[in-house]
Amino acid sequence: DAKTTQPNSMESNEEEPVHLPCNHSTISGTDYIHWYRQLPSQGPEYVIHGLTSNVNNRMASLAIAEDRKSSTLILHRATLRDAAVYYCILVGWETSGSRLTFGEGTQLTVNP
Amino acid sequence: AAGVIQSPRHLIKEKRETATLKCYPIPRHDTVYWYQQGPGQDPQFLISFYEKMQSDKGSIPDRFSAQQFSDYHSELNMSSLELGDSALYFCASSPATAGGFIYEQYFGPGTRLTVT
């Protein structure tokens, strides 16, 4: 499976933007970049995904490098509720099917 | 909006006993996934079903089996339980993954299994 690398932890202040990086230098041409997050004592929650172009939804934005070897999840205004573990996951039929392979993720702390 | 339902939410069993976990996917979702999350660990994929057929298999012990029924709900059966099986078990569902597109997965609240 193609691997992703994320910082173990990041810290932000409430109402400030947060940029969560992910490196995936061995990404396959058909792999989608998915982001999930897991709040304490809850199941993982889908955030956003993309293939080549930048993506926006109500929760976040996803910026994908032109060579697709890295991506950044952007939370525009962090709230206390955004404190969670964020997982960057590559999903593709040729490499892993549709299963999600969770790595270590980034623990985001949001300070009031 | 309807979410994934899992039952029971908590389960306590003794070693060597059997447990059955149930998952009810979001309506019109025909793909179900099972994940296991041990204490302090990240979720690990166990098995998935599409249209009542097993579609993928991960690190699921031979003591575990699962199936998806005609109404698309799924059950994870676990026998000869061991202390190491104590974990959170999540079920997720997604719309059909046919046609090359991979949809996002929607997770349930999980079943916390404690084996004593």
Cβ-defined contact of B56 to A99 (cutoff 8 Å): yes
- Residue A102's Cα: distance from chain center in Å? 11
To the nearest whole Å, the CA of A77 is away from the closest chain B CA by: 23
Amino acid at B101: F
Give me the residues paired with residue A101 across strands. Answer: none
Please name the residue of chain A whose CA is at the shortest distance from the CA of residue B95. A98
* DSSP code at position B109: -
Phi and psi dihedrals of A2, rounded to 5?
-65, 140
Dihedral sign, Cα of residue B93, residue B95, residue B99, residue B102: negative
Does the pLDDT of residue A1 top 70, yes or no?
Answer: no
A53 touches chain B (CB under 8 A): no
Place B112 in a pLDDT band, splitting at 50, 70 and 90.
very high
Average pLDDT, chain B: 93
Phi and psi dihedrals of A27, rounded to 5?
-60, 140
Instruction: Give the pLDDT mean for A92-104.
Output: 84
Task: Kindly report, residue by residue over B61-93, the tens digit of the pLDDT.
Answer: 999 999 999 999 999 999 999 999 999 999 999
Does the pLDDT of residue B33 top 70, yes or no?
Answer: yes
Instruction: Give the pLDDT mean for A10-23.
Output: 97
Interface with chain B: mutation pick from A34, A38, A42, A98, highest number of B CBs within 10 Å: A98
Greatest extent of chain A over all pairs of C-alpha atoms, in Å? 43
Q: Which residues neighbour B18 within 8 Å (Cβ) at sequence distance 6 or greater?
A: B77, B78, B79, B80, B81
Burial of residue A111 (CB within 10 Å: 0-12, 13-18, 19+) is exposed
Predicted confidence at residue B97, as pLDDT, reads 59
Predicted confidence at residue A96, as pLDDT, reads 73
Gap between the Cα atoms of A44 and B39, Å rounded: 15
Gap between the Cα atoms of A4 and A45, Å rounded: 18
Does the pLDDT of residue B98 top 70, yes or no?
Answer: no
Gap between the Cα atoms of B88 and B76, Å rounded: 13
